[in-house]
């Protein structure tokens, strides 16, 4: 073997390194990871729609430069523009938190700027009327029980500690009057 051939055999193999990342991770990159990670969830479709709406507004931002105040500002603006209820805003906030939580798990970010944003108080109270068959069934039950005390559920709005949005179940007991 020639001297040159033996040098080739004894030479060290150069260390193979992954190519250096030339661009910074964007929110859009984080959303792609979150979509892949959440694909098996039952609520994935709804969550992915939220992710895409977030991508439209925040996707080009460098993820590590997004501050909590940026997210609050976007949530407030989106709520005003789209006339969202507080519950809808909270769901978008949860979607944002999911994106950044997954990025932290994958070591793409060191912190989650959406983690400490306070949720808004949700008011999901609604007035519901009984259907005709429900009303008939209730009246039959009351007639069967007419000589004893009749207990029924009633919904009554009770402000808790000055909060006009909370409600509670209250037992109402009525004794039918004999005519």
CA distances from 128 to 5, 125, 134 (A): 89, 10, 12
* Cβ neighbours of 88 (radius 10 Å): 16
Nearest by Cα to 91 from 40, 58, 49: 49
CA dist 172 and 153 (Å) reads 6
Predicted confidence (pLDDT) per residue in 92-150, tens digit: 999 999 999 999 999 999 999 998 899 988 887 778 888 888 888 888 887 776 544 44
- Mean pLDDT for the chain overall: 77
Nearest by Cα to 96 from 71, 60, 65, 129: 71
Claim: this prediction has a pTM higher than 0.75: no
Nearest by Cα to 149 from 117, 164, 171: 171
Predicted confidence (pLDDT) per residue in 61-87, tens digit: 999 999 999 999 999 999 999 999 999
Domain residue limits, the chain: 23-105, 132-174
Nearest by Cα to 167 from 158, 175, 176: 158
23-105 placed in CATH 1.10.150: yes
């Amino acid at each position: 073997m020639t001297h040159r051939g033996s040098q080739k055999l004894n030479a060290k193999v150069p260390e193979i390194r992954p190519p250096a990342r030339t661009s910074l991770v964007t929110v859009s990159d984080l959303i792609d990871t979150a979509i892949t990670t959440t694909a098996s969830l039952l609520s994935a479709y709804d969550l992915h729609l939220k992710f895409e709406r977030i991508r439209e507004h925040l996707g080009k931002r460098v993820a590590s430069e997004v501050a909590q105040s940026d997210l609050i500002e976007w949530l407030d603006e989106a709520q005003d523009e789209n006339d969202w209820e507080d519950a809808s805003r909270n769901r978008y906030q949860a979607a944002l938190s999911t994106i950044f939580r997954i990025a932290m798990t994958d070591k793409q970010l060191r912190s989650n700027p959406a983690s400490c944003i306070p949720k808004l108080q949700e008011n999901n109270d609604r007035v519901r009327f009984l259907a005709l068959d429900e009303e008939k069934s209730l009246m039959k039950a009351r007639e069967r029980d007419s000589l004893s005390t009749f207990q029924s559920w009633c919904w009554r709005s009770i402000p808790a500690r000055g909060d006009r949005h909370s409600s509670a179940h209250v037992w109402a007991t009525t004794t039918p009057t004999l005519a």
